[in-house]
Amino acid sequence: MKIQLLFFCVLPLFLSCTKTEEQAVEPEEFLKDHATFPVGAAIDYGLLKDNSQYRNVLRREHTSITAENAMKWNSTHPQQDVYNFKDADYIVEFAQSQGQRIHGHTLLWYQFQNISWVKNFQGDSAAWEQLLKNHIQTLVGHFKGKVSSWDVVNEAFRDDDGSLRVLDKDPGTFDDGCLFARKVGRDYIARSFRYAHEADPDALLFYNEYGQEWSSKKIQSILTMVADFKNRGVPIHGLGIQMHIDINTLNTGIENAIRQLAATGLKIHISELDIRVNPNNSSTFAYTDALQSAQAEKFKFVVKTYRSLVPASQQFGITTWNVSDNDSWIISYLKKIDYPLLFNSSYQKKKSYAGFLQGLKE
Angstrom CA distances, 345 to 289, 339, 348, stand at 17, 9, 7
Among candidate residues 61, 155, 209, 213, the one labeled active-site is 155
Of 235, 215, 213, residue with least CA distance to 226: 235
State the nearest-atom distance from the C-beta of 18 to ligand XIL, in Å.
Answer: 46
State the nearest-atom distance from the C-beta of 68 to ligand XIL, in Å.
Answer: 5
Q: Which residues bind ligand XIL (CB under 6 A)?
A: 68-69, 154, 210, 242, 272, 329, 333
Residue nearest ligand XIL, CB atom distance: 329
Phi-psi group of 145: left, alpha or beta (phi > 0 → left; psi -120 to 50 → alpha; rest → beta) = left
- Residue (196 or 294) nearer to ligand XIL, CB: 196
Residue 1 neighbours by CB under 8 Å, 6+ apart: none
Q: How far apart are CA 344 and CA 163, in angstroms?
A: 38
209 assigned to active site: no
State the nearest-atom distance from the C-beta of 337 to ligand XIL, in Å.
Answer: 17
Among candidate residues 61, 129, 213, 272, the one labeled active-site is 272
- Residue (190 or 341) nearer to ligand XIL, CB: 341
155 assigned to active site: yes
Of 243, 141, 148, 132, residue with least CA distance to 190: 132
DSSP 45-65: HHHHHH-HHHHHHHHHH-SEE
* Residue 41 and residue 319 in contact, taking contact as beta carbons nearer than 8 Å: yes
The identity of residue 274, as a single letter, is D
* Residue 120 and residue 86 in contact, taking contact as beta carbons nearer than 8 Å: no
- Residue (208 or 292) nearer to ligand XIL, CB: 208
Q: Which helix (H) or strand (E) segment is 299 a member of?
A: helix 289-309
- Residue (196 or 360) nearer to ligand XIL, CB: 196
Residue 314 neighbours by CB under 8 Å, 6+ apart: 262, 265, 266, 267, 268
State the nearest-atom distance from the C-beta of 242 to ligand XIL, in Å.
Answer: 6
Of 48, 118, 42, residue with least CA distance to 76: 118
State the nearest-atom distance from the C-beta of 45 to ligand XIL, in Å.
Answer: 11
State the nearest-atom distance from the C-beta of 219 to ligand XIL, in Å.
Answer: 17
- Residue (155 or 297) nearer to ligand XIL, CB: 155
- Residue (69 or 100) nearer to ligand XIL, CB: 69
246 bridge partner residues? 276
Residues involved in catalysis = 155, 272
